[in-house]
Amino acid sequence: MKKTTVKLIGILALTAGLITSCSSNDTPTPSTPPSSTFTADATNFQGTISDGEVTLDPTKTYKLTGKIQVNSGATLNIPAGTVIEGTGGTSSYIAIAQGGKLNVNGTAAKPVVMTSGLTTKKAGDWGGLVICGKAPINRVTGGASTAQSEVADLSYGGTVSNDNSGILKYLRIEYAGAAFNSEKEFNGLSLFGVGSGTTIDYVEFFQGADDGVEFFGGTVNTSNLISIGNEDDQFDWTEGWSGTNTNWYGKLDFGKGNRGIEADNFELGYANTPIANPSITNLTLVGPGSAPTTGTWLENDAMKLRRGTKGIFTNLVFSGWAVGFNVENDETIAWIPTALKAVNVNFIADVATKTKGKLNAVAPATSGVSANVSAIISSEGTSTGAGNGAGMPAWATGWSVGF
């Protein structure tokens, strides 16, 4: 009996231990984000975040008086409803360095807004948002090079195609684009070598002084982008960017802007690899009219495709442009129709050039000479573009402005 009792006690003890062990594993202790030595001052929001995580308070308005830089290993979290107001021209911007992360967690009801802090707001009141990643660029052919960003002076590029710089969701960037000079200026959003691990979804660029968004290489994918009233191009890419994109809406304000899309492979190496080759499905571009009586437009093109870029564009709506497609340079023309084509294009109003485009084999010698670009257009139809023809798409409701 004593021997049996000892065994029973041992079994009970072992059973209790197993129960305790299972219970412990089923209820893990919640992890706490690493603290940072940086303190966010809403009245004087500037400085460098070098470690840990910083989360802003959505009940406060942050006065961006200088540069905010997020370095490698650090994270800046911006909750829904947060407002950041830039007041410092070219010195006022947000930059994410390689290895740093920005998580913008807006909602349709409470987007995050980065805007001008001046009483009378105008394009160029502050810099903009700059993100630098480790994905390939083609400034040196082959895709393994790095470079310094033209604004923020940070390194970008590399070989990490799936690099992750964070999340941008329900974000509005307004009145950005401060300029150092005519060759060096901020966009609303500048994406330098940003990788496909980054999420960019429901973002608007409104009345900036340069491009709404520009892709400098990288592999990042996007969806639900709006670019309205920016004073150069609404969308721009170069340096070998290749991403998959859905639902883009671009619109020029009357008297402002240049093109809907300006697209290059690389201006100093038209055949450099990796070759820019994005796909865009569901695209609306609204222009100023085919023959505006006031205002100045450099070219009035819905899409300018040049310097060796490829691209596949599906379900397009063009309205109010002098020219639909302006295709330039031998290297770009060579891709027609195998790797540069538009499928289901709806020219719904005022695309005046009878051929709906220009084909310029050599620029600038023959620039502006009209030619038939029908080879780029695989089909025409009654496409819906970003969702509602030239009108505001349903997915833009509640968080966007400018329609």
| DSSP classification of residue 380 | B
pLDDT digits (tens, 9 = 90+) for 191-208: 999 999 999 999 999 999
For residue 186 the two structure tokens come to 């901020």
The pLDDT value recorded for residue 29 is 60
pLDDT category at 237 given cuts 50, 70, 90 is: very high
pLDDT at residue 32, as a whole number: 78
- Tokens (6 digits) for 284: 């609306």
Higher pLDDT, 372 or 327: 327
**What pLDDT score does 18 carry?**
39
Compute, in degrees rounded to 10, the torsion defined by CA atoms 154, 156, 162, 164: 0
What CA–CA distance (Å, rounded) separates 46 from 43?
Answer: 9
Q: Average pLDDT for residues 170-198, to the nearest whole number? A: 96
- Domain spans in the chain, listed from the N-terminal domain onward: 43-220
In tens, the pLDDT along 261-278 reads: 999 999 999 999 999 999
Mean pLDDT, rounded, for 21-26? 47
Band of pLDDT at residue 349, cut at 50, 70 and 90: confident
33 or 400, which is more confident: 400
Pairing of strands 179-181, 184-185: antiparallel
Q: Is the pLDDT of residue 334 over 60?
A: yes
The predicted pLDDT at position 375 comes to 83
More reliable by pLDDT, 321 or 371: 321
Arithmetic mean of pLDDT, 136-162:
97
Residue 3 has phi, psi (to 5 degrees) of -65, -45
Among 315, 322, 279, 284, which residue's Cα sits nearest to residue 300?
Answer: 322
Residue 298 has pLDDT above 90, yes or no: no
Q: Are 172 and 113 in contact (CB under 8 A)?
A: yes
What separation, in Å, do the N-terminal and C-terminal C-alpha atoms of the chain show?
88
pLDDT tens per residue across span 335-348: 998 999 999 999 98
How far apart CA 253 and CA 274 sit, in angstroms, is: 34
To the nearest whole number, what is the mean pLDDT of the chain? 89
Mean pLDDT of 253-259: 78
Is 126 in a helix, a strand, or coil? Answer: strand
pLDDT digits (tens, 9 = 90+) for 364-381: 444 545 556 788 889 988
Q: pLDDT-based confidence at 253, cuts 50/70/90?
A: confident
pLDDT for 288 equals: 87
Mean of pLDDT values over 175-185: 92
Residue range 36-91, pLDDT digits in tens: 999 999 999 999 999 999 999 999 999 999 999 999 999 999 999 999 999 889 99
For residues 343 and 23, which has the higher predicted lDDT (pLDDT)? 343
Q: Determine the pLDDT at residue 16.
A: 43
Per-residue confidence (pLDDT) for residue 323, from 0 to 100: 85
pLDDT score for 12: 37
Name beta bridge partners: 205. Answer: 173, 227
> Which stretch of DSSP H or E encloses residue 46?
strand 45-49
- Say if residue 134's pLDDT is above 70: yes
pLDDT of the residue at 2: 37
pLDDT more than 90, % of the chain: 73
233 neighbors 212 (Cβ within 8 angstroms): yes
Confidence of residue 108 (pLDDT cuts 50, 70, 90): very high
For the segment 145-150, the average pLDDT, to the nearest whole number, is 96
In whole angstroms, what is the distance from residue 384 CA to residue 117 CA? 37
- Say yes or no to pLDDT of 295 above 70: no
Give residue-wise pLDDT tens across range 209-218: 999 999 999 9
**What b/e sequence results for 39-56 when a residue is b if at least 16 CB atoms lie within 10 Å of its CB, and e otherwise?**
ebeeeebbbebbeebbbb
pLDDT band with cut points at 50, 70 and 90 for residue 289: confident
Asked if pLDDT for residue 21 goes beyond 70, the answer is no
